[in-house]
Each structure stands twice: as C-alpha cells, then as structure tokens.
Structure 1
C-alpha cells in the first residue's frame, strides 16, 4: 500500500503550462492540483478521523450512563453490543483510519509533492534570462527554490489536518451537545465566534510578520553565500572584519524580524488560552447546573467535559498549525518573487532550430541600451561577417564588444535592428539551437563543481572516452589532468574541480574550457580574451590548437594580444557602440586613428610585437 501511494505522484513530472502563476492561490493550486486525488482522499479520511475522535467522549458518556443505570449482574448481558461497538471503533476503526491518514499524508503527498514543487520551480527558474541571474544572489534564488517545496507541502497538509479536522470535530461535538440539551451547546457556539474573530484579527499580522522574517532570512543566506563564493577576494583584501559587520547587520535585521513575529505569536497564544479557559469553565458550570436541575443525565456531563477538553486541546494545536500555515505562506510568498516570474526570453511561437549552412553573421543597424534609449551601448551598428571569416573586435573597455556578442547569443533582445545567422533572425530560432551552434571561450572561465570529465563532456555529452582525451590533448590539458586529486581521493579525469573551478589555476581552467569547446565543435566560434589567462609558454603551445579549432569556422574574437589578432582576417574597431574603423592591422596603423592610439598606449605584450611587425 505504501509503495502504491509513493508512486501516485511523479516527483519529476514535466511542468504543466508555462510555469507557476503569480497569484498566491493560483501558485498553490498549480502544484497541489497535480496531487488532487490524493488530497481528495485525505479530505475524506480527515472527516472520518474527526468523527472517530468525537466518538471517544461520546463513548465515555455512554459508558457512565450504562454503569449508573444498569444492575451489575445484567451489565454484560444487556450492554455487550454497545461495548463491542466501542471496542471495534477504538481497537480497529480508529487505528485504521489514522494509519490511512498518515500513509496518504507522509507517503503519498509529503515527499513527492515537496520534490515536485522544487523540481518544477527549478525547471522554470533555470530558463530565465541571463539578466535574471545577474540581478540577484545565486544563493537567494536557490534558497527560494528549495524552501518553496516545504512551504507548499506544509501549508496544504496543515490546512487539511488541522483546520478541516477541528471544523468537522466542532460540528459533531455541537451536534452531540444539542442532542442532550441545547443550552450545553451555547458556550461552544459563542467560543467558535470568538475563536474565528481572534483568528481573523491575528492571522494577517502573523502572515505579514512571517513574510518579512522569511525575506530577511533569504537575504542573510544570499549575503553569506556571496561571501563564501568570493572568499579569495575577502582574504586577499583582508576584509574579514568588514564581512563580519556586513553579515552581522543582516543577521540583526533578521533577528529583529523574527522577534516581531514571535511577539504576535505570544499575544495570540495568551488570548487563546484565556478564551479556552472561559469555555471550559462555562461548559463545566452549565453542565453541573443542568444536571442538578434534572435536565440532563450524569452521562451527558461525562460526555460534554471530555468533548470540551478535547476541543480546547485541538484549538491550541490548530492555532499552532495556523501559525505554521502562515509562516509557510510567508515563505511561499517570498519565494514567489523568484519563481513566479514570466520568462522574458522565450522562443517565438513558431521558432525553428537554427540551420547553419555557412556561419555568416549579419548585424543590421543594431541598437541596444539595456532599456535606456537615451544612452545606447550599441548604436545603429551594422556589420557583416562572411561564412568562415575571422573577425577581431577591438575597442576600449565599455565600447560594447561583449554586449554585441551577448546580443548575438540572444542573452538580450536587440531594441532596434536585427541579427541574422545565415539569413535567419536569431529571435526567430530556438535559443537552444542558437547556442548549440556557437562555441564561446571567455577570459573568466567558470567550471561546474563536477569532475574534469563532466566539465569537458559538457561540450558534447555523447562523446567517447577517446574523443574526450583527444580534446584534452589538443588543448594541452593532458599535461596536468593525470596529477589531479580531490579531497575525496578521486584522481585524473574523475577529480572534482571545486565551485567555479577554484581548485585549478586560471590557466588550467582555461585549457579545460578550450577542451570543452574543441569537443563541442560548433560552426561559429567566439573568443573573448581566450588566452589571457595562459602564460606565454602554454599560450604558444596551444596556438596551433586554436588555429586548428578555428579552421573552417566563422570566428568572432574579442582580443588585444597578437597571438589571437595576427591570424584574424579583419579587425573591427568599436567606440561608443559604433564601428569607427575596420581593416587589417597594417592598414589601421597607417590610418593613425583610435586603433593606432590603443596600440601606442600599450606596453609590452602583443603591442610590442605589433610595433616590430609594423616596422
């Protein structure tokens, strides 16, 4: 039975629709609806559980009534059917119902729904644009994805097991009291009104405080992860004390938010205890008065007191559950800020895979300014790169070189104009096919915290071991890979590289990245200072490999070093988002324009070599 329940919800099912909606109720229903039949079963079993719990005080009252009205010698002869029914409910029905309730809750819903919510939230978030991740802490986003699962699960289950439970229990208890004497039900009816009023007054405050506390906790997590991720910078600048103050202030804000939340919780608990004490006193007094007046039997008194005590006990439990519900609602609302956002960079409705026939690239009057039309980073830029041509982009920092590449990769959409590859507008092809057709090597290479093998195979997961090793040799990474060993004792290609590849040197990371690109073998290649992290000896060693890698490909290189620029077919100089010069190195030097100025200001490195070449 347990195994059957555990397989009713696929925890990694494909998300329905276009992603979690922004409305709170709609957000919950998006996930809960995928397990709706289990929740329906839990609802029915919950009603049965509430009625069984109500039966226990009723049995106590009936037992007292039978014992006080039946002669001892006739007790079992006349009352055995009642006793058998009581034993059947207590020994069989109640344990069975509670077992089924727990089985559905824990095995059918709790684990699978938690995982499902996290998986589908991640599935949606990872498809967000690059800017989405650049505008937030990675740790904060991850925290939102992880905590959303528990928040949705606990809110749904707590509502089913507590609010509905006390509702049906209260209705049944009131009905039993009304059956004895209508006056006995009056205190409970008044209590229900006051209880609902108290919840109505306090729950919104609990919700707001919980949401604020959750936001502060996520902020602390994001800041702590940011510090850990950049721990080398913290230590290089000896800023540990500053980091302490930065995190300390955030933690104090979080502590203040949690204390504010607990103050509301404490007030709510005190008021509820006073209300419950008044209920017990009223019901007990009224029951004794009614018995003394002869309006009810002693069995009724024996029934209403346990009913009231159980109701009071449940009210405290339900109050705690409701506090938990709204804590989790606050957590979910805060998580929705990252999860329930529409994806801004979607494929066009009729998008087709990019068909690369030659690799020609056209920038047609492209304008882009990150939303600021008065200050465009790229300003009406037009550039045609022929299939197989190797073009170097040169310019000052901030001239728009990397932005141009990001627009081509459709990390952002152009604001005016168009970018085409082999005549196909990049906005009209699928993003996956576009990026599969382009290989990129950047200066600041980031590796996944996985094995060397996994990182290289990221270029082409179906590559054979021989192809993997050939790519590593071509990138001159085979010289250091055999000597790698991680903290878990894994060696060589199985050694893990640490977060962002921190266990490797800059040059080693770059060679792994080049091996990955060699394995990918895409028809268009982008080099963004691809050899800047390599020492001269290693750089010289892989120049031939880069030459082989660029063979037959369209190449767009952002570079300043002769090792890359000297093999380019054409240099394009960008300034202020516009093309100001283009041509060969010698022609640009002869023009004595911006390129010549940049060259003259450089000292050492490739510019010194360029001087010799010009002379």
Structure 2
C-alpha cells in the first residue's frame, strides 16, 4: 500500500513533455517561470505543508509554556493529569499524529511529487532545445560543458525553488509565531528579537548576493573544467599518438586551478558569514533570556514564559543557521541556473520558416542560383578584403547526374555541401531542389532526402545494428544485413565482440566508433546510407579510409548505391571521381572549370595540373584508361 502511494506520487509530474520545442527565455526570472509555471500546483502544496509544519512547531512550544505554568500554580499534583487531560491529550495528538502526518506529507510532496519529475522534465526540455541548435553552436563549445550545464541547471532550478519555499515560509511562520508568544508574555521581550532580525537581514543582504556572484563564477569554472577533461577523453587517440598526456595534464590543471580558486573565494565568504551569524545568535540568546529573567524577578513574566522564550530562542538560533545556509544555497543554485541559462537559452540561428513544408523529391534536380556565403560575416567593403568562401556561384545538377567536386583544400567544396544540407544559411542567392527553395522547407525533410558518407566517419556508441538502422530505423534485420553485405561489412561484423560479450551486430563500437578501424567505420557508414536509400547522395571522401584493395571491392557497391540517384562526390584522390558524368573544379569559392575528365585534361587548366601530380599511381592510370 505504502509503495503504491509512493509510486502514485512519483507519476504526478510527466517528465517527457512532447509539445513543440520552444526556446527558453533569456532573462533569469522568466527562465524560472517558463519551467515552473506548468507545475505550480505542486509547489503551492509544498508551501501549504511547510506553513502547517512550522505552525505546529510553534504551537508545541506554546503548549510547553502553558503546561509549565499550570504545573507551578496547580495545588494538587495528584489531580493535575485529570484536570488538564484535554490539554495533554491535544498536545499528544499534535505531537504523535498531526506533526508526523504533516511532516511526512511535506516530504512526500518534495521527494516523490517534485524532485525527480521536475528535474527530469527540465533536463528533457533543455536537451530537446539544445539538440536542435545549429551545427555552429556545437562547433563553438565543448560538448562536455554543454552537457554539464543541462544536467546542473535542472537540479539547481528545482532545488532553489524548493529551498526558497521551505526557508522563507518556515522562517516567517516561526518568527511571527515566536514574536506573538513573546508579546503575549511581555512586549519588551520582542525588542531583542526585532533588533536581531534587523541585523540578520543586513547580514543576508551583504553576504547572499556576493555568494551568488562567486558561485556563478565557480559554476562556470566547473563547466569549463568538465569540458576540458571530456575533450581530452574524447580525443584520447590523438593524445596518445602525440604522447601529450603531460600537456593535457597542464590543460586540465589550469582549469582545475581556476575552479578551485573560485570555489575557495566562495568558501572564504561563507566562513565570514558563519562568524557573523554565530555572533548575532549568541547576542540574541543572552539578551532575550536575560531580559526574561529580569522581568521574572520583577513579577512581569512567569516561569512558563521563561521556558517558552528560552525554548523558542534556542530554536530560532538553530533555525537561523539553517535559513542562512539555505538562502546561500538558493542563491548559489540561482547562480548555476543563470550560468546555464546563458548557454541553454541562446537563440537557434537556423530555424525552419513559419511556412516551411516537407521537401518532395520526385526527380532530384539541384540548382544553386548565384549563392554567396562567408562563415559568420559578409564581405568587407575594402577592395583588398579576402573573398567569401562561396562567391556568386551558380550550378545545376540534373536529375540522376553524377557530379564530382574538385579543387585544392579551402576551395569551398565542403562548404558547398554544408550549404546544400542547410547546416548554414546563405548570405545571398538560393538553393533549389526540384524547384523548392531549401530555405523554405523543413530541415528534417531536407536531410531525410539526402544520403551522405563523410570523410571523418563518426559512429554512435551503440551496437552495430543501431548504427546501421540510423539510416532507416524501421528497417528489418534482413535489410540491415543486406545493406552490410553490399558495403562489404558483413564478414567483419560477424566476428566482432565487445567487452561485455556482445557479438556481431549486437557488439558496441565505442565512442565515435573507436573500437573499429577507419575502413570498418567507413563501411558501416556506407551500409547506413545504403539502407537510407535517399534520392540525393553526397560522397565526401567516402573511400578515403579504405586501402586500394578494399576500395576496389566496395566501388561496385557504391556504383549500385549511385544508380538512379543524383550524386555529388568530393575526393582529393581524383581517380575515384574521374568517371563521373561531370567534374566541377573550384577555386576560392568559384567554379573555374567544368566538363568530363577527358575534356578537362585537354584544357590544360587546374584540373590537368592536379591530375598530373597524382598520375604516378595505379588508380590514376586505370581511371585514365
């Protein structure tokens, strides 16, 4: 029964909100309200339970004072219990039944209803938004740093709201209740309490904002530290190849030192805050108890009043430390949320237009119409400014045509492909696929119609099957195996086994596919695109990681893959694209030559020069023949 009740509470907040992904606000309180607004009834319940709980604590102290006074004035101890049985029974009910019920209800609301559900919901919503950020967003930041902010922000946002409700309302009810009981005994007992409260608020106003500021810096330094460490782990092969473990130690040590210094600055402030708090509490304890004793000697208060005042002062002293720590934690968490918000709430610079429609590709014609592009800025006004990456380029690829892009490094070939995939928006001109401007179609539908095998093949740290199924998630096992066979990958997949004993298509490939050779990764990537079977195909150095023997084996598979598709292929090894229908030669973002392999050799231009530099190899002679 109890377990079922706990489960019921845990399922009140639905963590996976499947509504449209929206950008969180970029101002702090609006950011908070964005996530808390749908869940406000749960926080109101927490507030009510907290108020009831703190009221009960004050009432119990009042009971104690009343009983002490009645014990002192009652003439016959033998009849005391029978005379005041109603008061004792009420006190027992409050202490044994009501207080545990209210306290448990408070914990149930906080732990079962709010904690896990709210944190997971915030993480889910922020992850969904960040995942849809532009490619440039991820290229300009550490992946580990971004992930750390998503994880921290969810926890800190929930915790700061819960702590604020508990601290403010608990402290308010305790203080007001105590002041009323003090005043009921003698109004003069409230004077030390009011003076203490004023000094306490001044201390909070001084220390808490500074703790928030320093915790923000500490959080930023912690995120940077995580980002640097994850960056080293992600590129562990490069670290080991260049024997730079000590260099990475230094790189991490700098971030760790900065984080430690920021943390120590925060801790120094906390130590100073505690010193002030201990001093204020000592003054309150001595002043209030002393005043009560003096008033008792003058006959203005009773022994019961002294018991109540002393008990409440001790409770206030204990509570004040908890409240100040809680408020400090609240502002520390607010600092973490603020720091996370600065990354999470960045606008998505590459969004679908409001009227975007799914792309339909019945034929596969690609037309680039006077396109201009420069990463991050337009061309400067000065005549000697460097040219754009792509400068007034026009090109039409007919349906089913196989086009090869040729040029020196930096000529703009990969940028052209990135623009076709709309990883970046054009600065001028337009790109059309079957007459549809890609700026006005949905990005998901655009990329669903384009298959691509890249030079730097990156696999997900999942099973081989999952990686191939990325091309078409609803494909059957038979189709997965067929695609692997076409890519000449089935034989080596059958012999794979990971550290957990998973074999074949169930074996996991490691982060970015590090457990496989370059050629193996490339063949799985080709199998993935074979399974996708999109009408437009892009090959960006698709066979660069394969040796000549494997490349010749897979070439037949690539030819089958290209059959009936519009193909754009990039290759520095010219022999691999010499047989294309047409070759486009680029230089400084412009097309300077185009034609077949034979036509371009006769022109004796840039293509001919590049070909002659590579013509000493077998593949070059075979392709020429």
**TM-score, normalization by structure 1:** 0.98
Distance 2:341 2:569 in 1: 40
Distance 2:568 2:623 in 1: 24
Distance 1:534 1:611, change over 3 A: closer
Distance 2:607 2:407 in 1: 8
Match of 1:360 among 361, 365, 371: 365
Match of 1:84 among 86, 89, 92: 89
Do the aligned partners of 1:377 and 1:400 also contact (CA within 8 Å) in 2?
yes
Match of 1:484 among 489, 496, 503: 496
Distance 1:605 1:15, change over 3 A: farther
Partner of 2:62: 58
Alignment pair present for 1:410 and 2:422: yes
Match of 1:10 among 11, 14, 17: 14
Deviations 1:257-297 (A, max 9, x none): 11001000100111011111111111011111111111111
Post-superposition, which runs of at least 4 consecutive aligned residues in structure 1 deviate over 6 A?
none
Distance 1:329 1:503 in 2: 41
Distance 1:571 1:440, change over 3 A: same
Q: Helix, strand or coil: the match of 1:394?
A: strand
Alignment pair present for 1:584 and 2:596: yes
Deviation at 1:321, TM superposition (A): 1.1
RMSD between superposed Cα atoms in Å:
1.3
Match of 1:282 among 278, 287, 297: 287
Do the aligned partners of 2:575 and 2:619 also contact (CA within 8 Å) in 1?
no
Match of 1:549 among 544, 551, 561: 561
Do the aligned partners of 2:390 and 2:412 also contact (CA within 8 Å) in 1?
yes
Alignment pair present for 1:504 and 2:548: no
Alignment pair present for 1:270 and 2:270: no
Partner of 2:33: 29
Distance 2:230 2:67 in 1: 62
Deviation at 1:600, TM superposition (A): 2.1
Deviation at 1:523, TM superposition (A): 0.3
Distance 1:396 1:566 in 2: 16
Distance 1:607 1:468, change over 3 A: closer
Deviation at 1:345, TM superposition (A): 1.0
Do the aligned partners of 2:21 and 2:125 also contact (CA within 8 Å) in 1?
no
Q: Helix, strand or coil: the match of 1:479?
A: helix
**TM-score, normalization by structure 2:** 0.96
Unaligned runs of 5+ in 2: 380-386
Unaligned runs of 5+ in 1: none
Deviation at 1:602, TM superposition (A): 2.8
Deviations 1:22-75 (A, max 9, x none): 111111111122221110111111110110111222122112111101121321
Deviations 1:173-196 (A, max 9, x none): 111111221111111111111111
Distance 1:399 1:545 in 2: 29
Deviation at 1:480, TM superposition (A): 0.1
Distance 2:364 2:86 in 1: 88
Match of 1:340 among 331, 339, 345: 345
Deviations 1:428-467 (A, max 9, x none): 0000000000001011100000000000000001001111
Alignment pair present for 1:168 and 2:180: no
Do the aligned partners of 1:599 and 1:607 also contact (CA within 8 Å) in 2?
no
Give the 5 Å matches for 1:416-455: 416-455=428-467
Distance 1:420 1:289, change over 3 A: same
Deviations 1:330-381 (A, max 9, x none): 2111111221112111111011000111010011000000123224100010
Give the 5 Å matches for 1:77-476: 77-374=82-379, 375-476=387-488
Deviations 1:221-275 (A, max 9, x none): 0000000111111111111111111111211111111100100010011101111
